């Protein structure tokens, strides 16, 4: 990944938010407020996931597609399919 610093920065921020949610639960904060914070963390994790995926597509996938190993191309494309399949599971 070429954007490790940005991904790590976002993950540290998310970690702080999760600690905040833990405090909210410990302090018996109103349930809906806790849920809103959980949703914010989920959205932030989705952004990080998209960043990592974009890096993968722009680096690993392109390298495999341009490479001479057909098995590697198939493997990387299969991984992408699995990621999208898992993302749509309920």
List the domains of the chain with CATH numbers.
4-87 (1.20.58.1000)
Q: pTM to 2 decimals?
A: 0.82
What does the pLDDT read at residue 90? 61
Of 55, 36, 39, 43, residue with least CA distance to 10: 43
pLDDT block averages, 10 residues each, the chain of length 90: 87 98 98 98 96 91 90 91 84
Q: Is 28 left (phi over 0), alpha (psi -120 to 50) or beta?
A: left
């Amino acid at each position: 990944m070429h954007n490790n610093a940005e991904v790590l920065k976002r993950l540290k921020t998310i970690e702080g938010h999760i600690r905040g949610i833990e405090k909210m639960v410990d302090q018996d904060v109103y349930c809906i407020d806790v849920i809103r914070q959980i949703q914010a963390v989920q959205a932030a994790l989705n952004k990080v996931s998209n960043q990592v995926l974009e890096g993968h597509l722009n680096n690993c996938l392109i390298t495999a597609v341009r490479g001479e190993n057909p098995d590697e191309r198939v493997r990387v494309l299969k991984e992408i399919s699995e990621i999208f399949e898992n993302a749509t599971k309920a």
